[in-house]
Amino acid sequence: MKKTFIRVMYFPLLIVYLELIFRLCLNVRFFSYPLLNILLFSLSYGLILFLSTMFLKGKLLKVALTLITLFLLFAYISQATVYLIYSAIYSFSLAGQAGAAFEFFTFVLEVIRNNWSYYILYLFPLVALILILRSKEESREAKKHDLMIVISVLLLLYSSNLILLPKKGMHSSYDLYYKINLPNMMTSRLGLATTMRLDVSRLIFGFEEESKLIDTGNEIIDEDDNKNEDEEEVEKQEYNMLEIDFDYLIENESNQNIIDLHNYFKTSNATVKNEMTGIFEGKNLIYILAESLDHIAIDENITPTLYKLSNEGLNFTNFYTPIFLSTIDGEYMSKTGLLPREGVWSLWRSRNNYLPFTLGNQFLDQGYKTTAIHNGRATYYNRHESHPNLGYQNYYACGQGLNINCSLWPQSDLEMIEKSKDFYIGDSPFFTYYLTISGHLRYNLYNQMAVKNWEYAKELPYSTAVRAYMAQHVELDRAIEKLINELDEKGVLSETVIAISSDHWPYGLTADQLNERSNSDRSDFFERDRLPFIVWNSESEGKEVDLLGSSVDITPTLLNMFGLEYDSRLLTGKDIFSNEEPIVVFSDRSWITNEGKYKKSEKEFYKNPGSNVDDEYVEKINNIVHNYFQVSRMVLDNNYYAHLGN
């Protein structure tokens, strides 16, 4: 009887145990109502696994118990590792890209070492498995009525749980289960096992996510009406807006998703052109997306060029680069002005879409020579397929026309500049995009860029990891110095703007290591992602810009500064200098505005000093953030811009 009970409850208790450990990794409120749903789902899945082995005996039973246990451990441990690195749940739809997530095996080992307590807990089920396999006591033979009892209990548990799923509120557990696909939120509300089950089911059978946009009270811009209020002031205002006849498009469209997007953008506010509009009109642009660039890398003595640009250019000090899924989503946001979609590589997914508002396509339409350059592999994240569609006439990388020493790890930013400068300098006007790699983890003395520049950082009073990080960014600093000198020698420095931002925070460093040099507490959820954005021109005056912004705002901000014609209503990001209320959006639906910070996992709004907004304000911003994610997904999935005509 005892052995029979153990056999029946082994898998249910195993999955419950694994879910509880994974919930510790999520950093959410542990004891809350969703925990009941997770427990009931876990018990149900455990009974299903018991049913699958119920009539097995002897060696066959032992093999089945072992294989299923090892599979479950692998699934939970691999997902925990991905979450600890990227704060994301990995989708089976990305299985073909698994190498991109786990290629840096030594770093994975470091993550395991730094979070050893979780992994030790994950090993305990192996002890239970060994004890069961060594037990010689035989359970009684399963009967048909035993099968009926187990199935009845299973159906009762599962159906009861579905009834108990909360249905009220935005992103309710009910909606997550039936209507929408938000893996991180699903895991915290429904459990990892349910999230993975739904992921597989939706991948195999397809899934049409509910596209529900919420009315947030935006009003259509009508200049004729506004003139009655202040005719002289309105006449001075011009908008970053194209002439689009949404009524005609709606009348002639049959796809409901497209109609919903037309209605949404029709009632969205366009940003007003401002004193920064067109200040760089006609100039060249070099945009550098710097691997893991953090404020701690900018130092007057160690990285003097970065220090010079941050002090002599527009230095955006209230700027955030929220991480979604590693570099590729950071690229997508900064290039398209849209939020990435969960569960896919959005940049690669957009490779066949019409994307008229990317920097590459906008400058290409103005007759610029457009070039993208990366000192990593050309095929990594399938950039060789996505980048031509972003408007780059040429894409150079390792294995695709960039003649550098690609056997180094990481590769040299300085060598990339030296070998690529002649690709575009001398062909004005030009727009060149660089994706650097010298700042890539791991931050130790096995990193070849750290070793190369160790002499510049070895005497600093910091840990080895931070000194290695600083040494690696000496390579970026020297690369930018080389670039500026080349532009100056060719006589085009004054006609060239250099913009620099980061792809994500340096997750190869711990919060404690970041705090060795940081001016703010980087263990804070929001402060972790406060990263540099610099726009520099040799003829412009330096200015510290404390306006709130994020990586999704880079494209509309630069489009405005270069005086390019675009429709600001059609992007999630906004010109940072505009009159629109800024909203920094994080992957878990947390956000920052000028009024304060909202942390989704706690459902708590932290007001800034002097703020007097109420709960209605929080609800409104939550609705806007919801729409930003929905609209970005719908634009991507439906190739929306192709439906706007010419």
pLDDT at 25: 86
What is the pLDDT averaged over residues 474-498? Answer: 98
Q: Under a CB-based contact definition with an 8 Å cutoff, are residues 202 and 194 in contact? A: no
Confidence class for position 220, pLDDT limits 50, 70, 90: very low
pLDDT of 435 reads 98
Residue 577 in contact with residue 557, Cβ under 8 Å?
A: yes
CB within 8 Å of 428: residues ≥ 6 apart? 284, 492, 495
The predicted structure's pLDDT at residue 106: 65
The dihedrals phi and psi of 147, each to the nearest 5 degrees, come to -60, -45
Output the pLDDT for position 135: 76
- The pLDDT tens digits for 232-269 are 555 578 999 999 999 999 999 999 999 999 999 999 99
> How far apart (Å, rounded) are the C-alpha atoms in residues 482 and 202?
50
Give me the mean pLDDT over the 279-295 stretch: 98
pLDDT band at 5 (very low <50, low <70, confident <90, very high): low
Sheet of strand 591-593: strand arrangement:
584-585, 591-593, 596-599, 604-607
Contact 505, 290 (CB under 8 A): no
Per-residue confidence (pLDDT) for residue 344, from 0 to 100: 83
Task: Place 93 in a pLDDT band, splitting at 50, 70 and 90.
Answer: low
Mean pLDDT for the stretch of residues 415-428: 95
Q: Among 400, 422, 398, 426, which residue's Cα sits nearest to residue 412?
A: 398
pLDDT of residue 397: 98
* pLDDT tens per residue across span 29-39: 787 888 999 99
> What topology is assigned to 284-575 in CATH?
Alkaline Phosphatase, subunit A (3.40.720)
Burial class for 138, CB neighbours closer than 10 Å (0-12, 13-18, 19+): exposed
Long-range contacts of 465-469, Cβ-Cβ distance < 8 Å, separation of 24 or more: 465/508, 465/509, 465/510, 465/513, 466/296, 466/509, 466/513, 466/514, 466/516, 466/517, 468/443, 468/444, 469/292, 469/294, 469/296, 469/297, 469/439, 469/443, 469/506, 469/508, 469/509
Q: Which is nearest to 343 in space by CA: 183, 186, 197, 191?
A: 183
Q: What percent of the chain has pLDDT over 90?
A: 68
Mean pLDDT of 462-466: 97
**pLDDT computed for residue 109 by the predictor:** 79
Residue 227's pLDDT is: 42
Angle between helices 58-86 and 192-205 (to 10 degrees): 90
Question: pLDDT class for 223, splitting at 50, 70, 90?
Answer: very low
The yes-or-no verdict on residue 222 having pLDDT over 50 is: no
DSSP secondary structure string for all residues of 346-399: HHHHTTTS--TTSHHHHHHHTT-EEEEEEEEETTGGGHHHHTGGGT-SEEEEET
- Looking only at the bridges linking them, the beta strands covering 369-377 and 430-435 are parallel
Give the model's confidence band at 95: pLDDT under 50 very low, under 70 low, under 90 confident, else very high: low
pLDDT at site 477? 98
Share of the chain above pLDDT 70, in %: 92
Q: Is the pLDDT of residue 404 over 70?
A: yes
Among the listed ranges 127-141, 423-437, 453-467, 558-572, which one has the minimum average pLDDT value? 127-141
Residue 225: is its pLDDT beyond 90?
A: no
Domain boundaries, the chain: 2-165, 284-575
Q: d(Cα 481, Cα 458) in Å, to the nearest integer?
A: 22
pLDDT of residue 343: 76
CB 327 within 8 A of CB 539: no
Taking alpha carbons only, the member of 349, 310, 300 closest to residue 328 is 349
The residue that leads in pLDDT, 151 or 553, is 553
pLDDT at 146: 64
Note the pLDDT of residue 283.
98
State the pLDDT at residue 601. Answer: 81
What is this structure's pTM?
Answer: 0.88
Give the pLDDT of residue 221.
Answer: 43
Question: 94: pLDDT confidence band, cut at 50, 70 and 90?
Answer: low
Asked if 346 and 332 touch (Cβ cutoff 8 Å), the reply is yes
